[in-house]
Amino acid sequence: MKVLKVTKKIASGLVTVTLFTTLVFMVFVVLMTKASGGEPEIFGHKIMTVLSGSMEPEFKTGSVIAVKPGGDLTRFQKDDVITFMEADNKLITHRVVEVVHSGNHVMYKTKGDNNNAADRELVLSDNVVAEYTGFTIPYVGYIGSFAQSREGGALLLLIPGLLLIIYAGTTIWQAISELEKDKKKPLAKNGEEVEGTM
């Protein structure tokens, strides 16, 4: 009986911690997404959402990746994965397949790992925004994209909060029920519990 109570207590604690951690994580995602107005930045790394499957299997559509901006933008070598700005102000993350030197300029021929051919335009080193650091979390990007909408941000905060409130209410109700049961049990003269007989 004691083992069952201890197990219930541990399970209850784990559920509480999980729900609370989820709530804190959702608040963090929503606030970072709203505050940055785009890609959040953590410890000098930009967190970006992968919108296409051009770099699979390195990272999948909907993943979140960390890229490090700055530094010498002419330093990249073949096989480095870089994030660069396209002519239409769209950010792309592809692999360098060739480094091209033209006078004082350094340019990169890039290709998505999952694409059949290299990108049509060479990337001028000045258009490189960041380097992929190898950190990726699959599918979390869908949450970030959802969080950018007003409804999504509200919902991501509301659901874990409601679950936490419901769980807390259930736990309190169970505790009150246990206290009521204990009050109804008859006591022997020496103060110990006795089994009720019919």
Active site residues: 52
Token pair 């999504």: residue = 152
Token pair 């930009």: residue = 46
* Residue 84 CB burial class (10 angstroms; 0-12, 13-18, ≥19): buried
Token readout for 43 is 């410890």
User: CB count, 10 Å around CB of 139?
Assistant: 12
Token readout for 34 is 């709203």
For residues 83 and 91, the answer to whether their CB atoms sit within 8 Å is yes
| 194/191 Cα distance (integer angstroms) | 9
User: Closest by alpha carbon to 128, among 79, 78, 68?
Assistant: 68
For residues 33 and 48, the answer to whether their CB atoms sit within 8 Å is no
Residue 135: HSE in the Cβ half-sphere, 13 Å Cα cutoff: 10
126 contacts: CB under 8 Å, gap ≥ 6: 73
